[in-house]
């Protein structure tokens, strides 16, 4: 009998499957479709356990659906543009393309070793011209639709290297990663996509995503941030201009005691009086570097100063001071607010601090209002001190105030979204060139479709200094205008890599098309993705951008669906033990610890604190997938990952549990091999043993099928397989056809989880065709019926014996069986039965006797 040698059989099957095209997408139109997709990786160099978990989950789903008779699309590719490649070029002189393709090669080899059933013929890499050509084409679709435009926006400017930095190249203190210089803000003309045009639909359609975690939908809704309220104009004293505010509480407009402009607001210099000029300028300078989050946090002190200017509350005619303050953001609403200290938390704090008047205009009860407040009253109530609106409930008052403002032409209803347009310009090399030319005669001219792709030039210097590498290439930058032929200049910005990943799932159905972005019929056929699996870190941007691009391409008539991802599974983190010195805050490598039961810091002697944390290099708790694959093989790694925790929960790495799964696979190996080698004749019989085993087999099918439906409870599915394996092991009818059925079923159920082992044993049973082309086993309901039970007979609470009887929950019948039994006869003879306790749930009858 051969030993289970995972590394050997896994390699063999990976090769055979590739040669035989076992994982090629079936396109039989008769079959229902299923599109299973993992978020494609950034080719950083090596796979980490987070990848392994993500791809294993999707792979099991893909395999189960295949066995259930679906045609399954399960592709893989590379999100291959981005900053790390360029950083490597700057730091180590490796060309980004070389660095990227080497990493892809490395990671692909590792993926193959996991036994993932990808259709590699559909592989995409976003950095390859036959992919980014279509990214450029999609950009031009946006341009044609009026959904791409240029506008000035701030970038991070390194004054020493004279270069633009990505946010990732600026540390949390605001210094450059390379030169160490304090990073400045500089305005540049940049490209934006108008995602705000789709804000309402992106919000409404969240309701259609019934297969998404509520948490993710909530995060998206908050990001879109819809507020319903009013736009109101306050005339400025002495200027022929008005100051517009956005408010969600027009019902509080009689309580306005001051108004505030964002410091950056263009009105600020205009309303500032000469005597306040210097103070205002100094104040604005002092705000540099403060983040929006700090500026608007409710628990931070607010800073602000008066401009000397005055505005008029159009409702009361009162003159009120115009301030500037850090808690008003220029980017939101109109960049200005009306200050209502009595009813807004931040305004209350600010007014108290600056000794501005506080005027109560909403009362909790009908009638009089409290004179003084100890904190803002933000709840609904009744309008007071509000002229003609007095007495109105605030919720209705809102509409009444808006209607009145509209009739007087100084206000109207307004819906405001927090979502901003998508800034896609990057002043970097390793990205998709934005396919436009700037012509002195024609302005901004799109590169004609037939001239795509605008290729990235390869011969480039990476210094990290000065203009971006593309902007430094005179030959590349200077071109003739595609429209009029005049010497013109190429756009040198490249696109945010989130664009590359916002449409890749549309390409897989027709990945090699070199005539079109995709054949609409094919993409409409496969889309939407039935199951998308990936990390929660993509809950907002990637998913929102993908939804946006999908809706735009739908409106361009290219596709016929509204949402790209039907169901979403966000897998939990992979964690492992860390050892941390609580005094120094430093992590210690496990190899340096002498006594693992009482871990101490070898340098200081301090006791170490242990906890499970996300695997990471800096915490010394990472486990390299290759190490595990080399020792146990992919099947054990997969089984462990699936067994250890439900997919959306965090998973704690545990060597003993890995070992446990390895032992389980070894047991399966022996069980099947022994069976394969025992040439005994099958004898059909109809014993109780066979019935029990058959019930165990079909219970396993039923439970595992249920576990995989809906919630993907792989962990309990694995437990069921273990139960079935035990039942087979314990069975005394090993030469019965039922036993053969059990062995076969166990392998079929195991196939999606441990694909190599299942295939090897399948073929050992003599089957020719791959197990991965077999059908998922079906439950025989009749096998589940329990027709006999073991009835326990107790006398005075003590078990005296058992009998086999027909299954029933009928108390009288059970009592009768028990009374008639030999055991009972023996013990109750000559005694008086005082009471009989029948417990059908426990198959038990207890006789209480006396004498």
Among 244, 284, 400, 442, binds Zn ion (CB under 5 A): 442
CB nearer ligand ANZ, residue 251 or residue 491: 251
Strand duo 531-535 + 33-38: pairing: parallel
* Count of residues of this chain found to bind Zn ion when the rule CB under 5 A is applied: 7
Q: Select the span of 122-130, 205-213, 476-484, 702-710 touching Zn ion (CB under 5 A).
A: 476-484
Q: Give CA–CA dist 135/141, Å, rounded.
A: 10
Q: Coil, strand or helix: which one is 402?
A: helix
* Count of C-beta atoms within a 10 Å radius of residue 475: 8
Neighbouring residues of 476: CB distance < 8 A, sequence distance ≥ 6: 457, 470, 490
| 359 closest CA partner among 255, 215, 281 | 255
To ligand ANZ, the closest distance from the beta carbon of 245 in angstroms equals 7
To Zn ion, the closest distance from the beta carbon of 487 in angstroms equals 9
Q: Is residue 263 within the footprint of ligand ANZ (CB under 6 A)? A: no
Cα 419 to its chain centre, rounded Å, is: 19
* Count of C-beta atoms within a 10 Å radius of residue 314: 19
Among 388, 484, 596, 796, binds Zn ion (CB under 5 A): 484
| Per-residue interface string for the shown chain with ligand ANZ, residues 397-436, x marking contact by CB under 6 A | -------------------x--------------------
Among 39, 47, 419, 481, binds Zn ion (CB under 5 A): 481
CB nearer Zn ion, residue 47 or residue 439: 439
**Cβ 245 vs Cβ 232: under 8 Å:** yes
Which does residue 337 bind out of Zn ion, ligand ANZ, none, counting CB within 5 to 8 angstroms by kind? ligand ANZ
Site for ligand ANZ in 48-77 (CB under 6 A): none
To ligand ANZ, the closest distance from the beta carbon of 246 in angstroms equals 5
| 308 closest CA partner among 288, 294, 324, 295 | 324
Q: Select the span of 256-264, 385-393, 475-483, 562-570 touching Zn ion (CB under 5 A).
A: 475-483
| Per-residue interface string for the shown chain with ligand ANZ, residues 306-335, x marking contact by CB under 6 A | ---------------------xxx--xx-x
CB nearer ligand ANZ, residue 156 or residue 416: 416
Which does residue 481 bind out of Zn ion, ligand ANZ, none, counting CB within 5 to 8 angstroms by kind? Zn ion
Cα 410 to its chain centre, rounded Å, is: 44
Phi, psi (deg, nearest 5) at residue 2? -80, 155
| Per-residue interface string for the shown chain with ligand ANZ, residues 236-255, x marking contact by CB under 6 A | ----------xxxx--x---
To Zn ion, the closest distance from the beta carbon of 480 in angstroms equals 8
To ligand ANZ, the closest distance from the beta carbon of 358 in angstroms equals 12
Residue 116, Cβ density class (10 Å: 0-12 exposed, 13-18 middle, ≥19 buried): buried
Triad 198, 204, 205: Cα angle to 5°: 85
Which does residue 25 bind out of Zn ion, ligand ANZ, none, counting CB within 5 to 8 angstroms by kind? none
Q: Give CA–CA dist 760/12, Å, rounded.
A: 9
Tokens of 240: 């022929």
Task: State whether the Cα torsion 693-694-696-700 is positive or negative.
Answer: positive
CB nearer ligand ANZ, residue 234 or residue 246: 246
Neighbouring residues of 191: CB distance < 8 A, sequence distance ≥ 6: 148, 149, 150, 423, 424, 425, 434, 491, 493, 495
Identify each DSSP E strand in 670-824 by its residue range: 788-795, 798-806
**Cβ 559 vs Cβ 528: under 8 Å:** no
To ligand ANZ, the closest distance from the beta carbon of 156 in angstroms equals 23
To ligand ANZ, the closest distance from the beta carbon of 352 in angstroms equals 15
To ligand ANZ, the closest distance from the beta carbon of 319 in angstroms equals 18
CB nearer Zn ion, residue 487 or residue 582: 487
| Per-residue interface string for the shown chain with ligand ANZ, residues 274-313, x marking contact by CB under 6 A | ----------------------x-----------------
| 50 closest CA partner among 536, 453, 701, 598 | 536
Rg, C-alpha atoms of the chain: 35
Q: Coil, strand or helix: which one is 569?
A: strand
* Bridge partners, 612 (sequence order): 577
Triad 700, 14, 31: Cα angle to 5°: 60
| Per-residue interface string for the shown chain with ligand ANZ, residues 330-369, x marking contact by CB under 6 A | --xx-x-xx-x--xx-------------------------
Among 439, 615, 639, 727, binds Zn ion (CB under 5 A): 439
**Cβ 528 vs Cβ 563: under 8 Å:** yes
Which does residue 353 bind out of Zn ion, ligand ANZ, none, counting CB within 5 to 8 angstroms by kind? none
Which does residue 456 bind out of ligand ANZ, Zn ion, none, counting CB within 5 to 8 angstroms by kind? none
Tokens of 222: 């908050």
What is the binding site for Zn ion (CB under 5 A)? 439, 441-442, 481, 483-484, 486
What is the binding site for ligand ANZ (CB under 6 A)? 227, 246-249, 252, 262, 296, 327-329, 332-333, 335, 337-338, 340, 343-344, 416
């Amino acid at each position: 009998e051969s030993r289970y040698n995972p590394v050997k059989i896994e390699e063999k099957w990976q090769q055979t499957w590739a040669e035989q095209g076992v994982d090629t997408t079936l396109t039989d139109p008769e079959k229902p479709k299923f599109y299973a997709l993992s978020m494609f990786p950034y080719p950083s160099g090596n796979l980490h356990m987070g990848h392994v978990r993500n791809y294993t989950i999707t792979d099991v789903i893909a395999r189960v659906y295949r066995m259930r008779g679906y045609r399954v699309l399960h592709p893989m590719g590379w999100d291959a543009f981005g900053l790390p490649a360029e950083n490597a070029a700057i730091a180590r002189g490796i060309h980004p393309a070389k660095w990227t393709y080497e990493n892809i090669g490395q990671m692909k080899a590792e993926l193959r070793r996991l036994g993932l059933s990808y259709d590699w013929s559909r592989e995409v890499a976003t950095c390859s011209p036959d992919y980014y050509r279509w990214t450029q084409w999609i950009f031009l679709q946006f341009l044609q639709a009026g959904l791409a435009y240029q506008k000035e926006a701030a970038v991070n400017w390194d004054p020493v290297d004279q270069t633009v930095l990505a946010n990732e190249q600026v540390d949390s203190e605001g210094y450059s990663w390379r030169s160490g210089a304090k990073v400045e803000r500089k305005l540049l003309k940049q490209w934006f996509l108008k995602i705000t045009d789709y804000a309402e639909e992106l919000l409404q359609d969240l309701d259609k995503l019934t297969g998404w975690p509520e948490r993710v939908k909530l995060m998206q809704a908050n990001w879109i941030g819809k507020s319903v309220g009013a736009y109101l104009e306050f005339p400025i004293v002495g200027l022929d201009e008005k100051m517009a505010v956005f408010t969600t509480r027009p019902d509080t407009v009689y309580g306005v005691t001051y108004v505030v402009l964002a410091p950056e607001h263009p009105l600020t210099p205009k309303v500032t009086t000469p005597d306040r000029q210097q103070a205002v300028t100094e104040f604005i300078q002092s705000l540099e570097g403060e983040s929006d989050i700090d500026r608007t946090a409710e628990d931070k002190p607010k800073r602000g100063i008066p401009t000397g200017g005055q505005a008029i509350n159009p409702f009361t005619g009162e003159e009120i001071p115009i301030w500037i303050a850090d808690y008003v953001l220029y980017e939101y609403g109109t960049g200005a607010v009306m200050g209502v200290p009595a009813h807004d938390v931040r305004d209350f704090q600010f007014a108290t601090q600056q000794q501005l008047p506080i005027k109560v205009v909403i009362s909790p009860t009908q009638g009089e209002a409290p004179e003084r407040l100890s904190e803002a009253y933000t709840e609904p109530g009744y309008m007071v001190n509000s002229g003609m609106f007095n007495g109105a409930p605030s919720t209705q008052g809102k509409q009444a105030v808006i209607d009145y403002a509209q009739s007087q032409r100084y206000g109207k209803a307004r819906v405001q979204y927090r979502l901003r347009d998508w800034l896609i310009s990057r002043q970097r090399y390793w990205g998709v060139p934005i396919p436009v030319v700037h012509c002195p005669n024609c302005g901004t001219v799109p590169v004609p479709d037939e001239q795509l792709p605008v290729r990235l030039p390869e011969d480039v210097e990476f210094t990290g200094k000065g203009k971006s590498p593309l902007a430094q290439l005179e030959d590349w930058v200077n071109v003739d205008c595609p429209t009029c032929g005049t010497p013109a200049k190429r756009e040198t910005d490249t696109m945010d890599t989130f664009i590359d990943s916002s449409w890749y799932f549309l390409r897989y159905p027709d990945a090699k098309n070199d005539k079109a972005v995709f054949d609409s019929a094919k993409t409409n056929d496969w889309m939407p993705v039935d199951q998308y699996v990936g990390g929660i870190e993509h809950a907002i941007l990637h998913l929102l951008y993908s939804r946006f691009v999908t809706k735009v391409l739908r409106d361009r008539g290219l596709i016929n669906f509204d949402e790209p991802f039907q169901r979403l599974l966000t897998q939990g983190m992979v964690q492992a033990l860390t050892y941390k010195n609580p005094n120094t805050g430093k992590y210690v490598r496990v190899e340096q610890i002498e006594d693992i039961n009482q871990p101490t810091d070898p340098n200081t002697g301090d006791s170490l604190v242990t906890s499970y944390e996300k695997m990471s290099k800096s915490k010394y708790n990472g486990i390299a997938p290759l190490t595990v694959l080399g020792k146990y093989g992919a099947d054990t790694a997969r089984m462990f990952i699936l067994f250890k925790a439900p997919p959306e929960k965090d998973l704690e790495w545990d060597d003993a549990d890995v070992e446990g799964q390895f032992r389980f696979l070894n047991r399966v190996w022996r069980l099947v091999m022994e069976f394969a080698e025992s040439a005994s004749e099958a004898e059909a019989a109809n014993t109780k043993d066979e019935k029990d085993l058959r019930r165990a087999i079909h219970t396993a099918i039923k439970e595992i099928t249920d576990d995989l439906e809906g919630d993907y409870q792989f962990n309990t599915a694995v437990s069921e397989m273990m139960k079935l394996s035990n039942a087979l092991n314990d069975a005394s009818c090993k030469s019965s056809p039922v036993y053969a059925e059990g062995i076969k079923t166990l392998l079929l159920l195991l196939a999606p989880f441990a694909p190599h082992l299942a295939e090897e044993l399948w073929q050992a049973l003599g089957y020719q065709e791959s197990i991965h082309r077999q059908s998922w086993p079906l439950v025989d309901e009749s096998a589940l019926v329990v027709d006999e039970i073991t009835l326990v007979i107790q006398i005075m609470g003590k078990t005296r014996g058992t009998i086999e009887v027909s299954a029933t929950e009928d108390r009288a019948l059970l009592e009768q069986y028990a009374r008639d039994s030999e055991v009972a006869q023996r013990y109750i003879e000559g005694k008086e039965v005082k009471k009989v306790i029948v417990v059908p749930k426990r198959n038990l009858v207890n006789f209480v006797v006396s004498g």
